[in-house]
Structure 1
Amino acid sequence: MTLPFDPRERPYLAALIAQARYPLGPPITLALDRSDGAFGELATLLTRHNGLTAFNAGLQVFRAGSEGMGPDLQKWNDLQTWKHTYEGLADGLLCFAQDLFGVQFALDNDAQVVRFDPETAERTALGDTLEDWARWLLADPDVRGAHAFATSWQDRHGALAHDQRLIPLRFFTLGGAYEDDNLAVKDAAQCMRIRGPLAQTLYRLPDGANFQMTSTPPPSDPDLLSHHEFDVFADYCTVLIQDDDARLGEPERSWFDLLVDDWINTAPGIVGIGAARPFKVPFTVDVRRTPPAEDDTELQQADHVTQASLALPSGRLLISSQDFGDEPRIPLTPGNYAARIYSHGLNTLSEDALEGEDRYHVVLWPTDEDHPALVLKRYPEPLPGG
């Protein structure tokens, strides 16, 4: 076996390669745009061993070229493969490897080797050379290279394909566990595209924002994926629950008339709802795996309940009154959802309707069914705020 590096000079990198499986692609002579430092080491590594896996596929170093198994280095780093979903947070990185959960290892503009967290976009410097990177990995391969989990997972579920990674259904940063029922196998690039909106939300959340993500789901609701609490300004007593890329524009007056009458109406990528007061009002948003139970106790308790379908192709949910500023975006898996809105405390308003303890609870769940805008339970008196 020919090693690309002298074990006496780079013992950790040589040890990593010695226990790896390779190649993932046919022989290639690789020349990168840069040849200094770790860039030169990477070109040498892939020229000798074009892609490899280690730690029972807990670590994958991408191949180069149009043929082979798993991601191609150039295509993987193309903006449209997955980096566009991070909107600049992954710029300036040449990602050359990843672990079982899609944690990226990359070279930055300073030729440093960094670890890129796919859920937070946080960069952690690991050193100036691939030798530093290999030393870091080998110090704890079960955790840093996902060796132990990769072995146990594949023993139970079978081998992953080279273009597949594991992704949590409830994101790790939102309290998701490293357990079988919280993990799914998906295409590696899709895993990154799903988490891009989450990274944007966490990165751009303004200091002091009233935005909470629960660390664990309540024991009584194991299907809860994420929980969020914040205040929203209900301009003209209306609020939009929408895809971050959707815009209401200038709808017909009848659109707002129906919204005032029923507190529910829809437009592409938008669900409009009513609120009792034209001020900041408290919202709770729960994202679930499954719809509410048939014996929905909150439906019985709430004053007014509505429901509609909502398309979220961007994977970023925004709740606002057409104000697209610092409101936090809630990250979800892109797709189609149903939204059920529970309005509480409508009978607590002051005589001038300026004060009250009204609150609003939005529950979303993925669905392939089309849910027309409808009132599930109507407030017995005229709806306030009209």
Structure 2
Amino acid sequence: MSQQALNDLLAQGGGALAAPPPGEEIQYVPEPLRPLIGRRNGFYAFGPALYVRPWSPGVQGDCLWWNATDTWRHEYKGVGDDLLFFAEDVFGFQFGLHRSGIYSFDPETAARELLAKDIGGWAAKILADVDFLTGAPVADAWTEERGPLPLATRLAPVVPFFLGGEYDIEQLNPIPEVELMRFRGDVYQQTKDLPDGAQIELGF
């Protein structure tokens, strides 16, 4: 594991969102995430762009709540159930833990990509391509012009990105995170088997 990359990522982050899991409770955190959660239990980095969820039941945004079937995952009807989502970019695109490594997950299309074998490698990837993997420039532009992103929201395009939506703050809205993921799951179900040019029904 790249310890230096993890150190460098934590240096870019804000304060912990929850206290470290006490005593033996750290054993309930998946082993690959312990080097991260054990040092800082949830945080934002690069402004609001990268959100690492806390592992602490009862704390808003907790990993266990986020990964519960009835929060939003039911909309994907089992797709992505082999991933444990622990972080996301400013647009709500997910980072998930799998037994084979850490993946990015596009909630609009359910496409995934292996980013790293461990949490240090993931941190190195984030640092090497902050703009693309976190959306930091868009987050900065939003904050400068519109103020802080409301709590528990992510920026969503008026038109989904995979249908040509733009990474422009004039074409983005802050949407509550659960509502956004449920909407994207519904869009995914509508589009996954459609031929090019077919019509779909959109709307929050």
State whether TM-score is above 0.5: yes
Shift in Å at residue 163 of structure 1? 1.0
Shift in Å at residue 27 of structure 1? 3.0
Aligned to 2:17: 24
User: In proportion to residue count, which structure has more strand?
Assistant: 1
Q: Once the two structures are superposed, what CA deviation does each residue of 1:165-222 show, in whole Å capped at 9, x if it has no partner?
A: 11112111111111223211111111111110222233333xxx4x406xxxxxxxxx
Q: Tell me if 1:52 matches 2:34.
A: no
* 1:163–1:187 contact (8 Å) kept in structure 2: yes
Shift in Å at residue 88 of structure 1? 1.4
Query: Where does 1:1-386 land on structure 2 (aligned, <5 Å)?
Result: 9-29=2-22, 30-32=26-28, 39-68=30-59, 70-108=60-98, 110-205=99-194, 209=195, 211-212=196-197, 228=199, 330-334=200-204
- Partner Cα separation in structure 2 for residue 41 and residue 162 of structure 1: 27
Shift in Å at residue 41 of structure 1? 3.4
Shift in Å at residue 154 of structure 1? 0.8
Counterpart secondary structure, 1:100: coil
* 1:63–1:71 contact (8 Å) kept in structure 2: yes
Identity in percent: 34
Instruction: Give the number of the structure with larger relative contact order, counting CA–CA contacts within 8 Å between residues 6 or more apart.
Output: 2
Structure 2: 5+ residue stretches without partners: none
Shift in Å at residue 67 of structure 1? 4.1
Larger Rg: 1
Shift in Å at residue 61 of structure 1? 0.2
User: In proportion to residue count, which structure has more helix?
Assistant: 2
Counterpart secondary structure, 2:6: helix
Shift in Å at residue 82 of structure 1? 0.8
- Partner Cα separation in structure 1 for residue 126 and residue 201 of structure 2: 30
Count of matched residue positions in the alignment of Structure 1 and Structure 2: 201
Counterpart secondary structure, 1:48: coil
* 2:94–2:104 contact (8 Å) kept in structure 1: yes
* 2:138–2:169 contact (8 Å) kept in structure 1: no
2:203 aligned partner, one-letter code: T
* 1:25–1:67 contact (8 Å) kept in structure 2: no
2:121 aligned partner, one-letter code: D
* 2:35–2:119 contact (8 Å) kept in structure 1: no
- Partner Cα separation in structure 1 for residue 121 and residue 37 of structure 2: 17
Counterpart secondary structure, 2:121: helix
* 2:85–2:94 contact (8 Å) kept in structure 1: yes
- Partner Cα separation in structure 2 for residue 148 and residue 74 of structure 1: 29
1:101 aligned partner, one-letter code: F
- Partner Cα separation in structure 2 for residue 181 and residue 147 of structure 1: 16
* 2:150–2:174 contact (8 Å) kept in structure 1: no
